[in-house]
Chains A and B, each alone.
Chain A
Amino acid sequence: DAGVIQSPRHEVTEMGQEVTLRCKPISGHDYLFWYRQTMMRGLELLIYFNNNVPIDDSGMPEDRFSAKMPNASFSTLKIQPSEPRDSAVYFCASRWGGASRPEAFFGQGTRLTVV
């Protein structure tokens, strides 16, 4: 398996623009997570899905953030409009829901810079 795949790897955009981050989880995993990492706050959970259904989006900072998972192999995180304080590394992770292997596997992240 290729692992969790995220795109783009880097994104530089101007304030006010829409940004869409993409994630392909590991096949067979039924949990998908979106995290944001900054030096100040570490890894923060934004939202997670179970079988494509959003379970907890309490970490989504504002209405400017939205996430979808239209099928088991694809998810997007959208920021509209983007602001400089959104600059961070955004990670997608997936895991199998079984009790024997609860660990998550991360994609390489998208480094977002909003100027």
Chain B
Amino acid sequence: RKEVEQDPGPFNVPEGATVAFNCTYSNSASQSFFWYRQDCRKEPKLLMSVYSSGNEDGRFTAQLNRASQYISLLIRDSKLSDSATYLCVLTHQTGANNLFFGTGTRLTVIP
């Protein structure tokens, strides 16, 4: 079983819509969680960390559900510039070990 699983999409949503992505993970010892964003032909960049209590950064809200072993990303009021691939990422131990990446969910925001 893969460490991290994501729905590859694509998600095509109109501008202004709210869209949510989920990501499930297999290792209950996973410690740190992130959402990365990758634009076409660019490198992945950190979008936001995911904290146990949930956290918000402007139009973006990330949540963690340890009991069900999933994390989510909610984007409100989608902009054209939100079009990208969103990667779910985790580590097994804080401060050590490697990062495990999901294959990404592709989002296209349509005018």
Binding site for B on A (CB under 8 A): 33, 35, 41-43, 45, 48, 56, 91, 93, 95, 97-100, 102-109
Q: Are the CB atoms of B96 and A97 closer together than 8 Å?
A: yes
Distance to closest chain B CB from A3 (angstroms): 9
CB-CB nearest in chain B for A91: B43
Q: Are A42 and B95 in contact (CB under 8 A)?
A: no
Chain B hits for A97, CB < 8 A: 95-96
Question: In the complex the two chains form, is B99's CB within 8 Å of A107's CB?
Answer: no
Contact (Cβ within 8 A) A43 B101: yes
Q: Which chain B residues have a beta carbon within 8 Å of chain A's beta carbons?
A: 32, 34, 42-46, 49, 87, 91, 94-96, 98-104
Question: Would A109 and B43 count as touching, CB distance under 8 A?
Answer: yes
A104 CB contacts on chain B under 8 angstroms: 46, 99
The B interface is mostly helix, strand or loop, or mixed, namely strand
State the CA gap A51–B97 with chains docked (Å). 13
Taking the closest CB of chain A, its distance from the CB of B100, in whole angstroms, is: 8
Decide: B98 and A103 in contact? CB cutoff 8 A: no
Q: List 17 A-B contacts (CB under 8 A).
A: A35-B101, A42-B104, A45-B98, A45-B100, A45-B101, A91-B43, A95-B99, A97-B95, A99-B95, A100-B95, A102-B94, A106-B43, A106-B44, A107-B43, A108-B42, A108-B43, A109-B42
The 10 A-B residue pairs with the shortest CB-CB distance, nearest first, are A99-B95, A42-B103, A106-B43, A99-B94, A43-B101, A103-B46, A102-B32, A48-B98, A108-B43, A106-B44
Task: Return chain B residues, CB-CB under 8 Å to A45.
Answer: 98-101
Tell me the complex Cα distance, A100–B95, Å.
Answer: 7
Report yes or no: B42 in contact with A102, Cβ–Cβ below 8 A.
no
Min CB gap B30→A, angstroms:
12
Write out the residue numbers on chain B whose beta carbons fall within 8 Å of the beta carbon of A33. Answer: 98-99
